[in-house]
Structure 1
Amino acid sequence: MSTPVKIPMPLRVPELAPSLGRVLVPRRLEEPWVPLDDIREELATRVMEIGGEARAAAGRDERDKVLEALSRRAWLAAWDAAVRRVGDRVTGALDQEIDRAARRVRTPRRRRRRLLLAGSEKRAIAARLAAGGETLVAALDALDAVAGRVRDASVLDKGAHADWQEALRTAARRLEAAWLALETQVEDERREWAAEIDAVAHWRPPLWPLIALWTPVAVLLVWLGFVLGGYLPAPSWLAAWLGF
């Protein structure tokens, strides 16, 4: 009895644009306090590019390249790059606001430098911005598992192929959710740092150096006034100097 020939299932890459939703077409009541549209557009473009690369590979019947183009690694690389750029933009904008507030109240330069975000604070902001991607990572883990099944699927394994296509659409939807969570966190960061910036704007230099400097001078002038007015005796050195 002859062994049946296994015919690989042709991989058809689904259209991802409808599942990207507001990553492609934002719907907001107001614009973010830092510009994000260029980063959002770059993220959407990258996803469309990997979809195009996968379709081209599918047309050449290069299954491994199809799966590699749409792999977990490719999706995460696009997401991580977007998060890094947003993090840099948010921390840069916060530093600018802190510096402007400090300059308005004439904060000394050395103190201004200390007020800017520390490396640990920037890392904490980046971590909070990335936190919205947890559901995306879970979806990509599921995609990775399905890709392993579809890699060796035959034309009889239509279920595996359908699951792979749905996993790709789910990844795109989770990317949209992750981006919306990131935009929300960007707004939260501004609110969280508002009190800090307000404190910088209301800073005033301490008065004790002036008091410490001028109190002895004032006491000396008052004493000299009493001496010159005849209310207090003048020391011999002062009397000799003034010709009393």
Structure 2
Amino acid sequence: MSTVKIPMPLRVPELAPSLGRVVVPRRVAEPWVPIDDIRETLATRVLELAGEARAAAAGEDRERVLDAVSRRAWLAAWEQAVRRVADRVIEALDGRIERAARRVRMPHRRWRRRLLSTPEKRAVTARLATGGEPFVAALDALDAVAARVRDASVLDKAAHAEWQEALRGAARRLEAAWLALEAVAAEEERRWNPEIEALERWRPSLWPVLVLWAPLAAALVWLGLVLGGYVPAPLWLAARLGF
């Protein structure tokens, strides 16, 4: 006699407590570049994904539940946040370089070369993303658990509990990834401070002034000596001056 396999109803746990400081930051000082709006967008997106999954669960649409909180969905939200923070940091650094250059009146073409190059921008983005490696590993684990829970029956309570814990674990890892990203963003300011300070110490070179004005100054001194009678005037100058 065959038994009917009843699918396990999926229940999405509350993720806000596991997101921790992604939802409610606790800092001693504000970041040097404003990124709280990006943090809030990330937190909102994750909670929206959980909401979409719950709505699908209410309709007993297992595939939509698993897709809403899948590895792909979480990773897309994280990568978008990293890109936005990278753009914000790069823009802030370029702005500081430009302002420092303008204060010391550096020529436009010269300070434009001091702005972050494309490889440097890529390096900033890569450094900001490094803190997300444990989060990506947690998403890999979530993906593996989701594959098992997809066909779980009501008797497979352990698989369902494991899936719920994997979701909470991904949220906790996302919190850690965000805090690491904030730390790297702060480090980027320290990394570029020597470059900006060197720019602020820049002064125009004096040799063009010397090259242009030294002969003229010498000629004026000589003319003064001639007019003062200390040096005999050449015949052509004496004729012109009526000496």
TM-score (norm 2): 0.96
Deviation at 1:32, TM superposition (A): 0.6
Distance (Å, rounded) in 1 between the aligned partners of 2:166 and 2:120 = 36
Deviation at 1:231, TM superposition (A): 3.6
Given residue 169 of structure 1, which amino acid in structure 2 is its aligned partner? R
Deviation at 1:176, TM superposition (A): 0.0
The residue aligned with 2:39 is: 40
Q: What does the per-residue CA deviation read over 1:173-229, in whole Å, with 9 as the maximum and x for residues that have no partner? A: 000000000011111011111111111111111111101111111121222233333
1:89-128 matches, within 5 Å, as: 89-128=88-127
| Residues matched between the structures, number | 243
Q: Do structure 1's residue 203 and structure 2's residue 171 form an aligned pair?
A: no
The residue aligned with 2:152 is: 153
Given residue 26 of structure 2, which amino acid in structure 1 is its aligned partner? R
Given residue 203 of structure 1, which amino acid in structure 2 is its aligned partner? W
Distance (Å, rounded) in 2 between the aligned partners of 1:237 and 1:65 = 100
Deviation at 1:62, TM superposition (A): 0.5
Unaligned runs of 5+ in 2: none
Q: What does the per-residue CA deviation read over 1:129-188, in whole Å, with 9 as the maximum and x for residues that have no partner? A: 111100100000111111111111111222211111111010000000000000111110
Q: Do structure 1's residue 26 and structure 2's residue 31 form an aligned pair?
A: no
Unaligned runs of 5+ in 1: none
Deviation at 1:7, TM superposition (A): 1.2
Distance (Å, rounded) in 2 between the aligned partners of 1:229 and 1:37 = 74
Question: Does the residue aligned with 2:21 lie in a helix, a strand or coil?
Answer: helix
1:7-86 matches, within 5 Å, as: 7-86=6-85
Q: What does the per-residue CA deviation read over 1:69-117, in whole Å, with 9 as the maximum and x for residues that have no partner? A: 0010100111011111111111111111111111111222222322222
Distance (Å, rounded) in 2 between the aligned partners of 1:105 and 1:30 = 30
Deviation at 1:12, TM superposition (A): 0.9
Question: Does the residue aligned with 1:30 lie in a helix, a strand or coil?
Answer: coil
Distance (Å, rounded) in 2 between the aligned partners of 1:197 and 1:226 = 48
Distance (Å, rounded) in 1 between the aligned partners of 2:240 and 2:166 = 98
Q: What does the per-residue CA deviation read over 1:45-71, in whole Å, with 9 as the maximum and x for residues that have no partner? A: 000000000011011111110010001
Given residue 59 of structure 1, which amino acid in structure 2 is its aligned partner? A
Distance (Å, rounded) in 2 between the aligned partners of 1:226 and 1:31 = 67
- Mean CA deviation greater in 34-43 or 102-111: 102-111
Distance (Å, rounded) in 2 between the aligned partners of 1:221 and 1:36 = 61
Question: Does the residue aligned with 1:230 lie in a helix, a strand or coil?
Answer: coil
- Mean CA deviation greater in 217-226 or 129-138: 217-226
The residue aligned with 1:5 is: 4
Distance (Å, rounded) in 2 between the aligned partners of 1:231 and 1:30 = 71
Given residue 103 of structure 1, which amino acid in structure 2 is its aligned partner? R
Distance (Å, rounded) in 2 between the aligned partners of 1:68 and 1:212 = 72
RMSD: 1.2
Given residue 67 of structure 1, which amino acid in structure 2 is its aligned partner? L
Given residue 126 of structure 2, which amino acid in structure 1 is its aligned partner? A
Identity %: 72
TM-score (norm 1): 0.96
